[in-house]
Structure 1
Amino acid sequence: MLSTYKSTASFPFAQTFCRRVAFFSNSSISRNRVVYREDESDFEDPEEYRRRRKTEWKRRQGGQSFLDYLIINVRGGKGGNGCAAFHREKYVPFGPPSGGNGGRGGDVYILPTSSLTTLSSVVKRVRADPGGNGQGNWQNGKNAPPLIIRVPVGTIVRELGRDDPRRGKDEWEAEEEGLEGLNYEERRAKMREKRWVHYPRAGESNLDKDAFKEAEEAFLNQERERRIARRKRELTNPINLDLDKEEMSDEDPNAPLGLSKKENLGHLIASGGMGGLGNPHFLTQDNRSPKFATRGHEGERITLALELKLLADIGLVGFPNAGKSTLLRALTGGRAKTTVAGYAFTTLNPVVGVVRVAEDGTFEGGLSPGMVHDETLIEEQQEKEKMERGEFADALTRNQAHQLEASEKGYSAGHRFDLMERFRFTIADNPGLISNASENVGLGHSFLRSMERSLALVYVVDFSVPAPWDQLAVLRDELEQYQPGMSRKARMVIANKADLMGGDGDPESVAQAKEKLRQLEEFVENMSEERRLDVVPISAKFSQNLQKVVGMMMNIVQEEKGYPS
């Protein structure tokens, strides 16, 4: 299918023509996938084509890297088998039983980690290592090391119940599935094979001994008690963790020199199986030569649902292409690597940036005046800065250049920004919301979920549209429909792209901009219920009026956290 269409949405200043080629592949990997290809000849400016291809590539890569909901099957390590052996040495042809016990299987822990921001690094099938098998001469098997699942801070862990169709089978249900279709004798033989280790050429003779029958009955009783305890735990105390903070390692005073900190494993979610018993365990007065041992127990099997709700002090809420990513770049001095472009849904993944405020009220982004935060101008800006620094790059090091730049801004020589830091807070750039997002339309629930954990929300509206208050009404309604009371977290309204209204200095356009701002403030005053929301017009692209925004956000965070202002 080949069609030609005229596109002006992505490039409002130049009419470009793109050829859209869609094809469907029969392979399982690309089935039902529509691929659009653009040729360089379709663009008048080759640089424009190159930037478009670059942003599209970033968009595809980012969409695959973020993951905020995942179901995983976790299995503790299987215990090692016990050993059936007898001690042999010179002049001792018939020594005592000497089989060692099996090692314990690895436990599985889950640990919140601040360095992670997505669940994409978590595998869906988690398997801990098995324990080592026991050996002769009373050598016990090695215990398996614990397995740690590292997840981002803000992850909620829930165990799926037995009525959930997504839940996997536990160790006993998996065994029952393997025994289906077998008669009684075949089932009994297979169950014994899974639980017992026999001395060579003693398997059949052991089955007729009273000592083995008593040991088998005791083994099955213990297994039945474990199964009942497991079912009781699932009903009364299922796993439900809210990993909203990073856990620090504990100090261990008994640790060797240089290892004073005890490693923090996190929360235990699946225990490894116990190791099997060697034949010395079954030595009694009546049975002086036990020729059997037990195999290791299966580790626990559980199914967990991981749900990531990003933790940020301030969450930006707005329509697609309202300028949230540009605002985050400007506030963080470009440290937050968000995608900025002239089309909707450039942000496919929530991005968290850190705003650092100095003692004099300046912030990191404000230390670079004149920076234009626009994807089409970022590379040109970087080249310009390299050329300007090239005049003294040979004579001064980068540190000296930084000192020179700081002295020009009025700071003392060698005074770096992080040494003057007074306060810092985090801002989350959430993907744009659209109407009916609460019904999972558009990017839907996956990104409304990321706003739940923010201490406060800030609306970002496009001030250049004819009626920005309509955007505000939709955003508030979608938050309320998704979670009643969620809109009460909103503390401020940012009217972005104010430079497009009255920026040319024409008295008539300036008057129109002031009238629109008055209408927006009046709408916000009538909309708010508990507290009055401040309306701040800004230009994130040209870093205009951001000093006031940072100051207000800092006060909001301090108030929400209970810090003294």
Structure 2
Amino acid sequence: MTEGNFVDYVKVHLRSGDGGRGSTHLRREKYVAKGGPDGGDGGRGGHVILKGNKNLWTLLSFKFKRHYKAGNGENGGKQRSTGADGDDVILEVPLGTTVKRTDTGETLLEITEDGQEEIVARGGLGGRGNWHFKSATNQTPRYAQPGLEGEDQDLTLELKVLADVGLVGFPNAGKSTLLSVMTSAKPKIADYEFTTLKPNLGIVQYRDYRSFVMADIPGIIEGASEGRGLGHYFLRHIERNATLLFIVPADSKDIAKEYGILLRELERYNPEMLDKRRLLAISKCDMLDEELLAELKAELDETLPGVECMFISSVAGKGLSELKDRLWTLLNT
């Protein structure tokens, strides 16, 4: 999937169907001159429904069509026959889609399970036919209820990427390179910051035909939790990842400081993110000889006590098998 086809934020206008009108029919048959009221009820207007689909990864289907309208219910008929319900509109969305009111920003619901269906615009009820209004003092009512109007909804759909492992790091830390090596994904890679502007997903093949999903999240910068560098736009994708893999390059001036900044930004955005399992990977270790690598390990043991660190090189393929093993263990314990 190309970056331009990854759509994770759309605004849509939804209109449910109007309910059908109740019938005012009076029964007239041979030898039955005054059969009384037999008008049926109107049909219900169609709903607009969101349905989770695990095979979708983006909101691309909403990119070129933003208005959806369900069918109106049919009017009631004679012999108390109820009009047909209006056709529902079912919109399939990827798992991890959050639905908000566009005007207030209020979160209405989230789609997190395959096949989950949620009504976001409810069709109007059909009107009752005249036979409901028959009484001892009004044996031939010539009126019925009109159907209720459908709802208009202006909603915002936001996708928070669902993945097993999310890559977290500063811009140009080597996240996209790692994803391209560990999966068949082909993210854009270049030697400048913010090369990645949209999340990229890849499937990591593990032993015995097992696999897990890895997401390359656009780079985080200091102040991202306050919106700097499109921080809110990027950070929301990290919320749905089961395990966080922090990437800090070996040539960083202060690895412990960068790791601390990343943790603080996640905590400021959503403190619950720190409850996730996490692992620190030092990338670009092919630039270090054995002596420098030993010094770096000793330094990190002192500056980041208790933090699990792994040393990898995506270019040289160093430490990647061990990284897969550790991530699989974290995901399954």
TM-score by length of 1: 0.52
Counterpart for residue 80 of structure 1:
20
Distance 2:22 2:107 in 1: 31
Mapping for residues 112-511 of structure 1, pairs under 5 Å: 112-122=52-62, 125-136=67-78, 138-157=80-99, 160=101, 166-167=103-104, 240-247=108-115, 266-301=117-152, 304=155, 306-332=157-183, 334=184, 336-358=185-207, 420-421=208-209, 423-484=210-271, 486-487=273-274, 489=276, 491-499=278-286, 501-502=287-288, 510=289
Higher strand share: 2
The verdict on how the C-alpha distance between 1:429 and 1:116 changes in structure 2, with shifts beyond 3 A counting, is: same
Kindly indicate whether the alpha-carbon contact (under 8 Å) linking 1:270 and 1:300 is maintained by their aligned counterparts in 2: yes
Residue 66 of structure 1 corresponds to 7
Give the greater-gyration-radius structure (CA): 1
Counterpart-to-counterpart distance in 1, 2:203 and 2:85: 43
Aligned residue in 2 for 1:375:
none
Give structure 1 stretches of 5+ with no counterpart: 1-57, 169-237, 248-264, 359-419, 503-509, 560-565
Aligned residue type for 1:556: L
What is the distance in 1 between the residues matched to 2:223 and 2:85? 53
Q: Is the 8 A contact 2:98 2:107 kept in 1?
A: no
Instruction: Please tell me the residue identity of whatever aligns with 2:230.
Output: L
What's the secondary structure of 1:461's corresponding residue? strand
Inter-partner Cα distance in structure 2 for 1:166 and 1:461: 39
Q: Is the 8 A contact 2:242 2:277 kept in 1?
A: no
Can you give the 5+ residue segments of structure 2 that lack an aligned partner in the other structure? none
Does structure 2 conserve the Cα–Cα contact (< 8 Å) formed by 1:354 and 1:424?
Answer: yes
Q: Which has the higher helix share?
A: 1
Q: Distance in 1 between matches of 2:294 and 2:72?
A: 66
Q: 2-side partners of 1:266 and 1:521: how far apart?
A: 53
Deviation at 1:287, TM superposition (A): 2.9
SS at match of 2:178: helix
For residue 294 of structure 1, give the secondary structure of its aligned residue in structure 2: coil
Q: Is the partner of 1:434 in helix, strand or coil?
A: coil
- What letter is aligned with 1:267? E
Per the alignment, do residues 90 and 543 of structure 1 end up closer, same or farther by CA in structure 2, a change over 3 Å counting? same
Question: Is the contact made by 1:314 and 1:456 (CA closer than 8 Å) also made in structure 2?
Answer: yes
Measure, in 1, the Cα distance between the counterparts of 2:264 and 2:104. 35
Aligned twin of 1:111: 51
Give the one of 296, 301, 307 matched to 1:532.
307
Q: What code does the residue aligned with 2:320 have? A: L
Displacement after TM superposition at 1:445 (Å): 0.8
Q: C-alpha deviations, 1:145-202, integer Å up to 9, x for none? A: 33333222123445x5xxxx9159xxxxxxxxxxxxxxxxxxxxxxxxxxxxxxxxxx
Contact 1:314 1:426 in 2 (8 A): yes
Deviations 1:513-542 (A, max 9, x none): x426633652365235xx431231x22134
Asked if the contact 1:525/1:532 (under 8 Å) is kept, the reply is no
1:241-295 per-position Cα deviation (integer Å, ceiling 9, x unaligned): 4433324xxxxxxxxxxxxxxxxx6234443221112233333333343322221
Equivalent in the alignment of 1:99? 39
Equivalent residue pairs, number: 330
- CA contact under 8 A between 1:521 and 1:535: conserved in structure 2? no
Q: Distance in 1 between matches of 2:302 and 2:245?
A: 15
- Report the equivalent of 1:546: 320
Percent of aligned pairs with the same residue? 38
C-alpha distance in structure 2 between counterparts of 1:282 and 1:469, whole Å: 77
Distance 1:67 1:141, change over 3 A: same
TM-score of the superposition, structure 2-length normalised? 0.84
- Partners of 1:357 and 1:239 in 2: how far apart? 37
Distance between the aligned counterparts of 1:526 and 1:489, measured in 2?
22
Kindly provide the amino acid, as one letter, of the partner of residue 244 in structure 1.
T
Q: Secondary structure at the match of 1:310?
A: coil
Q: Provide the secondary structure at the position in 2 that maps to 1:343.
A: coil
Q: Which amino acid aligns with 2:53?
A: T
